Structure formats: structure tokens, C-alpha cells
Amino acid sequence: MRGSPFRRALRRRASGVHLPVWPGTNGELYVGPGAPGDEPAPGRTLRRAVLEPLLRRIAANGGHVYADRPDPFDLLVELPGDAAEPANAARAFRLLDAALRDYAAILTRRTAAGVAAGAVTVTITGALSPRHLLAAQPDRYAFADGTFDDLGCWSAPADLVPMVSEHWSWRFGWDGLDPISPEERHMLHGLVREAHAEGRRVRFFGIPRRPRRACAAFRAELVRAGVDVLEAPGNAVVNTK
């Protein structure tokens, strides 16, 4: 998978990557969007394409994905999102959980004692993130992605939903070409402050990539507001801190 988003993210020294996965018929998860009738290639399994390389890299870099950067690497895993077949997402979650437990030594973990940071933090994202299955685990190696609607929600504690993520256009209309309106800036800063007060990070995706001046304006405005994570081209995840 030389040209995979994961490999590209590492070459760019991105702070994480967003990867869709799908369950094969042989009890393995495969990286990529997947489609009915796809013939699984052994090298595309999550274990062989992502988790094994991370394990080797972390061992070589003194316990970190990048030797000079101790912050956990964000691995955002998007499960199949077909609302007509929710069982597919549940099956994918079970396969993901089994795979992650084999690599527990490098992962951020939540136990009854609290959250212990590892070299890699796995966050399950997507339309059918099985939050109820994660919440039922007293000892887990993945977390749920949330939205701003989770702020102040007792059923979405920060040790289950440590990050809230939204597409920019879900709440905002600013296109980066003209100055952002005072109302939208106020709302942005307020949402970020509320998320941080609850111990959550904030991620935005769907940021315009063109023209460049709009992209630059977005980055400056979001960094100024305290947004923690942006999704860059090629599924790379970039920490702004």
C-alpha cells in the first residue's frame, strides 16, 4: 500500500490519518471504502497495512510514531456507514476491537482508573459509530468521535467522546473569501471554549482547499479560535497546537 493515505500521512509527518475500513469474509478488516464483490488483498488488512507498521515504527522511535514528537498519533477509523445494514458496522467494530487488543501496548487505553495515553489514539468516526458498544466496555482501546451536539450531554463523557468533529458547512456559511461575520466568529469561539471546558478536542473537516487564500484564511481563523485538529487533503489529520 505504498500509495495509501496512511503512508502518505507518515511521509508528510502528519499528526494522524482518517481511514475508512470494511469487514472481509475472513474475519479481517480491510483499509479502503470497500464494495460488494471486492476481492480482499492480504496486504490491505488493517493489521498488515497500518497496525504492524505503526508497531515497528514506534519501537524504532523510542515509543513514539515520530521520534521528536511525543503526542499520540490520531488514527481515525471510519466504519461502514450504510444505515440499511447497521449490523455491518457492528461486525466491523467487533473485528476492530479484536485487532486493537492485539496491539494494546501502543494504544491509548481507557480503564476504570482513567485514560492512559499511548503512542496511538484510535477514534471511531462515521455515521454509524457504535458508541453504545464502546460505552459497554470497561476496558477499551478506542474512543468515539462526536459532534457539538454532545457538549453538555451526560451520555457522552469526555473519556468516551474526547473529540467533537463537524463538517464546516453544518453550522457555518463562511467561505474564507470575505471576512468572517462577527456572529459566526462568536459562535465558533463559543463552541470551542465549551468543548475545551469539558476536556474535549475540536476537529473540523470539509475546509475548502481552493483558492489558496481561502484555505489560508480558514486555517488562521480556526487556529485563532483554538480548534485543535484539521483534516487536510489526502485524509491526513493535522494538529494545530
**pLDDT mean over 72-99:** 85
Contact between 110 and 63 under an 8 Å Cβ cutoff? The reply is no
* Eight-state DSSP code of residue 169: G
pLDDT at 84 over 70: no
pLDDT grade for 82, boundaries at 50, 70 and 90: low
More confident residue, 26 or 41: 26
Contact between 54 and 73 under an 8 Å Cβ cutoff? The reply is yes
Reported as a single tens digit per residue, the pLDDT across 140-160 is: 999 999 999 999 999 999 999
Q: What's the pTM value of the predicted model, to 2 decimals?
A: 0.92
Q: CA 107 from chain center: how many Å?
A: 14
Contact between 92 and 45 under an 8 Å Cβ cutoff? The reply is no
**Closest to 191 (Cα-Cα) out of 236, 146, 135:** 146
pLDDT at 42 over 80: no
pLDDT reported for residue 32? 83
pLDDT reported for residue 1? 47
Q: Residue 235 region, left (φ>0) first, then alpha (ψ -120 to 50), else beta?
A: left
pLDDT at 75 over 80: yes
**Closest to 21 (Cα-Cα) out of 102, 167, 124, 150:** 124
pLDDT reported for residue 99? 96
**pLDDT mean over 210-216:** 91
Reported as a single tens digit per residue, the pLDDT across 155-207 is: 999 999 999 999 999 999 999 999 999 999 999 999 999 999 999 999 999 99
pLDDT reported for residue 3? 58
**pLDDT mean over 24-44:** 73
